[in-house]
A and B are shown apart, each in its own frame.
Chain A
Amino acid sequence: MNVELAIPGADARSRVFLTWAPVEARARLVNPTGTAALPVTLRSAGSGGGLRFATTPTHDGTPTLALSLPTSGAPVRFFVAGEFGRPSVNLGDAAIEAHGPGGLGVLGTKRVTVRIRKNAQNLSAGERDRFLAAFATLNGGGSGRFRDFRDMHVDAATAEEHGNVGFLPWHRAYILDLERELQAIDPSVTLPYWRFDEPAPNVFARQFMGVPNAAGRVQFTAGHPFSTWRTDGALGITRMPSFAPELAPTGLFTEAQTINLGGTYANFDAMEGNPHGFAHTSFRGFLRQIGTAARDPLFFMLHANVDRLWAKWQWVRKRRRPADSGAFAPALGDRVGHRLADTMWPWNGVIGAPRPPTAPGGIFPASVSTTAPGRAPTVGAMIDYQAVAGGASLGFDYDDVPFEL
C-alpha cells in the first residue's frame, strides 16, 4: 500500500518547483488494503526547503496535515506551499512525506524544490556558481540567447520601459523572461537580487560580480564563467562603483524610505528615479546608461531588487489586485503599453510607431510550473504575481516577501 502524491507543474524529469504561494495538490491510496479510509499525515521532511500544508489556500499552513484517504483510490485535495523563511538551497531538498498510522511508516514521498529569489549577498557558493554558469551559458560567448535581452533594453525601446507607469510591470516581465531562460539551462537557479541599500561585499568580489581594475574593467577569478564575457563584440564588463565594496552606495533611498513613498502606486512609482536611477548611476560604465546597462549581468540583479521593492510594497500595502485602483495608476499621456489591458512589447511582437521598429526575443517563455502570464503578457498580468486574487501565479517569490491573503 502506497500513497501517491501529485503536484501539478512537474518538468520532464518529474521535478516540482514551489514558491510561497500555495498550489493545489492531491494524495491518493495506491494498492490499498482493507475497506476503511486510511488516516495519513503529511509532513515536511526535507533537509533544506520547508513546506506548509493546508486544506484551503492560506498563508497559515502547518508543517503537518492529517488526511483521510479512501480505499477507492479517489484523490484527496490539499494545498502545499514553501515555508516562508525556509527556501531550498539545492534541487529537491524539500520533501512531502505521507506517514501511515501505527507501524505503517512512510507510505509515500515527493521531493520538491522551494525555488525562491534570494539576496545575492547571502547565496551559498553552490547557488552563486550555478547562477553564474547558467548566465554565462545563456550569453554563449556573446552570441547566445542573451543577445535578445540586450536588444530589448535599448534606447529605441525606452518609451516602452521607462518614464511611465509600466516601468515596474515591464521590468518584472523582463527579468522573469530571463529567469525562465536561466532555469531552462539549470532549473535550480533563480535570479538573485542586489540589495543596493546595504553593503554587499560578497557580491562585489572576484568570485561573483567581480572587482574593477584601474581602468574600470571588471576582473574575475581565473576560470570564472564571466572571465571571457563578451556582448555585442565588446570584450569584458566596464563597471566602476562610486562606493567601496564593503559599503552601500550613497544617495539612494533605503528600503523603508522607498516603501514609504506612498500608499498608492501613483506615489510609489516615483521610485523609478530614486532609488532605481540612483542605483544605476552609482557606477561608471555600462550600468549608467539605458542602452548599455543590460550588457552587465549586475543589471539584472539590480532590477530584481527593484522588483522586490515593488513586491514588498504590494504586500505591506495590500496592493496586489489589479482591480484595486491604488495598485496601479493611469498611463501618462494614455501611452499604449502602459495601460492595464495593453500587451507589452516585445513579447506581443507589435512593431512600428509608437512601438519600436523590431521586437527581439519572440513570445514570452512558458513555464512548467505555471500557465501565467501567457505568450504575450499584459501590464495587468504582472501585478498579482502570487495570484492572491486567484488564478495562476507567475512562479517566483522573494525570500523576504511572504504570501499573505
Chain B
Amino acid sequence: MDVAEYRRRYEAELAGAAPPESPAPEAELARTADEPAARADALAPGPLDEEGIAKQVAELLATLREPEQPLTARMTALQALGALDFLGPRFAPFRADYNQALRDVATDPEGELRESALELLAIHKDPYAQGLLVGGLERPEESLVPEAKAIQFLGYDDHTEIVPLVREIYDRATGPAREEALRVLATDPQSEGLFMRLLEDQAEERDIRSISASGLQSLNPEAFDETARKIVTDDSDYDDIRATSLAALAHGREAHEKPADPELVHTVRKLGERSRSQELRSSSRRFLQSAE
C-alpha cells in the first residue's frame, strides 16, 4: 500500500469529520432529555481543563440525583461520571460527592439506576451498600436488586462474612442465584466437597458443573486434575463438560511450565481423532498444542 496515498486519504477523512464538542450547557441537556443518543452526546465529557471538570461534574451529579430527569439522562450521567473517575487524581476532589450521590441513588425507585449504583459502591466495598445488599438477601421484601445480583455484588469483597448466608441461599436457590452463590463459595474451603459432587454428577445442570469445575480447580487443583481426567476419558459424559474440563487442564495452574503427562496426551490425541463433537475436538487440539 502506498503510504503517501494512504496519508492523503486519511487526512481527507479527518477534514470531513465533525470536531469534538465542548460540554453542552444545561439548556441543551434539557432540550435533548428524551433522546438517548443525543443526550449521550451532550453528556459525554469533552476536552476539559480543571475548571471544566468541576463544572461538568456538578452538572452530572445534579442530573444523576434529579428524579424528574428521564432515566436515560440519569444513566448517561452515571456513565459520564464513571468515565471521569478514570482520570484518577484529577477526579479525586469530587470523589466524596460522587460516592454520596451513588449512595443517594442506591435506593432510587428506578431499578436500573439502583442496580448500577450499588455495583459501583460494592466494587469499592462500600459498607453502606453491602448492608443494603445483605439486608435484601435476609429480608427479600427489602431487596433492591435481584438475588443473583446481590450475591454477585457482595462477591466483589472477598473479605465479607457472607459465606454462611450464601451457603443458606445456595441450598434453596435456583437459576442465576444458585450459580452466583456457587461462585462466591469458591472462596470457601469447606465447599470443596460440594464442588466435587456437583462436577461428578452427570444429572446436574451443565452450567453448574462448569462453575464447579472452576471452583474445585481453585480450591484443590490436584483433586480437580484427578476428577477432570476421569471426565475427559468418560465417553458417557457430556461433550461440553468434557471440553470444559480439558480446557481447564490445558490452561490451569502451571500448565505452561509443567511437562505434560504422556498418558493424558495420548488419551487426548485419540479423543480428538475420534470425537464427533466440534467443541471436544477443538479443546483437544488446544490441549495438545499447550502440551507441546
Tell me which residues from 119 to 146 in chain B have a Cβ below 8 Å from any Cβ of chain A: 119-120, 123-124, 146
Are A257 and B89 within 8 A (Cβ)? no
- Minimal Cβ-Cβ distance residue in A for B43: A251
Are A141 and B251 within 8 A (Cβ)? yes
Bound form: Cα–Cα A142–B252 in Å: 8
Given contacts A251-B44, A278-B83, contact A316 B214 (CB under 8 A): no
Are A143 and B156 within 8 A (Cβ)? no
Are B255 and A236 within 8 A (Cβ)? no
- Chain B residues near A335 (CB, 8 Å)? 89
Interface size on B, residues (CB 8 A): 86
Are A228 and B214 within 8 A (Cβ)? yes
Most buried by B among A227, A242, A403: A227
Are B213 and A228 within 8 A (Cβ)? yes
Are B83 and A163 within 8 A (Cβ)? no
Bound form: Cα–Cα A159–B89 in Å: 6
Given contacts A215-B176, A289-B120, contact A225 B91 (CB under 8 A): no
The listed residue (A216, A236, A285) touching B214 by CB distance below 8 A is A236
- Chain B residues near A224 (CB, 8 Å)? 247
Tell me which residues from 6 to 24 in chain B have a Cβ below 8 Å from any Cβ of chain A: 6-7, 10-11, 13-14, 16-20
Interface size on A, residues (CB 8 A): 81
Are B213 and A84 within 8 A (Cβ)? no
> What does DSSP make chain B's interface, helix, strand, loop or mixed?
helix
Is A66 among interface residues, defined by CB-CB distance under 8 A? no
Given contacts A250-B40, A273-B83, A316-B14, contact A223 B243 (CB under 8 A): yes
Closest Cβ of chain A to B240, distance in Å, is 3
- Chain B residues near A133 (CB, 8 Å)? 250-251, 286, 289-290
- Chain B residues near A221 (CB, 8 Å)? 279
- Chain A residues near B256 (CB, 8 Å)? 137-138, 140, 144, 185
Is B63 among interface residues, defined by CB-CB distance under 8 A? no
- Chain B residues near A158 (CB, 8 Å)? 88-89
Can you list, as one digit per residue, whether each of A344-387 has a CB less than 8 Å from chain B (1) or not (0)?
A: 00000000000000000000000000000000000000000000
The listed residue (B40, B87, B240) touching A251 by CB distance below 8 A is B40
Closest Cβ of chain B to A213, distance in Å, is 7
- Minimal Cβ-Cβ distance residue in B for A285: B119
Can you list, as one digit per residue, whether each of A179-194 has a CB less than 8 Å from chain B (1) or not (0)?
A: 0000001000000000
The listed residue (B1, B123, B156, B240) touching A223 by CB distance below 8 A is B240
Bound form: Cα–Cα A238–B6 in Å: 40
Is A28 among interface residues, defined by CB-CB distance under 8 A? no
Given contacts A59-B3, A235-B183, A289-B123, contact A225 B89 (CB under 8 A): no
- Minimal Cβ-Cβ distance residue in A for B241: A222
- Minimal Cβ-Cβ distance residue in A for B6: A402
Are A143 and B253 within 8 A (Cβ)? yes
Bound form: Cα–Cα A85–B1 in Å: 6
Can you list, as one digit per residue, whether each of A223-234 has a CB less than 8 Å from chain B (1) or not (0)?
A: 111011110111
Are B88 and A142 within 8 A (Cβ)? no
Is B41 among interface residues, defined by CB-CB distance under 8 A? yes
Is A104 among interface residues, defined by CB-CB distance under 8 A? no
- Chain A residues near B180 (CB, 8 Å)? 215, 217
Closest Cβ of chain B to A253, distance in Å, is 6
Are B250 and A251 within 8 A (Cβ)? no
Most buried by B among A215, A228, A250, A288: A228
Are A162 and B86 within 8 A (Cβ)? yes
Tell me which residues from 132 to 167 in chain B have a Cβ below 8 Å from any Cβ of chain A: 146, 148-149, 152, 155-156, 158
Closest Cβ of chain B to A330, distance in Å, is 14
Is B29 among interface residues, defined by CB-CB distance under 8 A? no
Are A273 and B87 within 8 A (Cβ)? yes
Given contacts A252-B44, A256-B13, contact A261 B20 (CB under 8 A): yes
- Minimal Cβ-Cβ distance residue in A for B219: A233
Are B248 and A141 within 8 A (Cβ)? yes
- Chain B residues near A272 (CB, 8 Å)? 86-87
- Chain A residues near B17 (CB, 8 Å)? 254, 256-257, 260
Bound form: Cα–Cα A230–B248 in Å: 10
Is B70 among interface residues, defined by CB-CB distance under 8 A? no
Can you list, as one digit per residue, whether each of B162-202 has a CB less than 8 Å from chain A (1) or not (0)?
A: 00000000000000100110110011000000000000000
Is A393 among interface residues, defined by CB-CB distance under 8 A? no
Are B290 and A278 within 8 A (Cβ)? no
- Minimal Cβ-Cβ distance residue in B for A316: B10
Is A68 among interface residues, defined by CB-CB distance under 8 A? no
Most buried by A among B44, B88, B279: B88
Bound form: Cα–Cα A251–B45 in Å: 9
Is A307 among interface residues, defined by CB-CB distance under 8 A? no
Are A223 and B79 within 8 A (Cβ)? no
- Minimal Cβ-Cβ distance residue in A for B125: A291
Closest Cβ of chain A to B202, distance in Å, is 15
The listed residue (B155, B158, B244, B289) touching A228 by CB distance below 8 A is B244
- Chain A residues near B91 (CB, 8 Å)? 163
Given contacts A163-B90, A224-B247, A316-B14, contact A277 B82 (CB under 8 A): yes
- Chain A residues near B289 (CB, 8 Å)? 133
Given A140-B252, A242-B79, 18 more pairs with CB closer than 8 A: A133-B250, A140-B256, A163-B90, A213-B176, A225-B286, A227-B247, A230-B186, A230-B217, A250-B40, A257-B19, A273-B45, A273-B47, A276-B86, A278-B83, A281-B80, A284-B119, A292-B156, A404-B7
Can you report 30 residue pairs joining A to B where beta carbons are below 8 Å apart? A133-B250, A136-B247, A136-B251, A140-B253, A140-B254, A142-B253, A158-B88, A161-B88, A162-B87, A162-B88, A215-B146, A216-B152, A217-B183, A227-B210, A228-B213, A228-B217, A234-B158, A235-B211, A250-B40, A251-B44, A251-B80, A256-B16, A262-B47, A274-B46, A277-B87, A280-B83, A280-B86, A290-B88, A292-B123, A402-B7
Per CB-CB distance, the 4 closest pairs between chain A and chain B, nearest first, are A223-B243, A277-B83, A162-B88, A256-B17
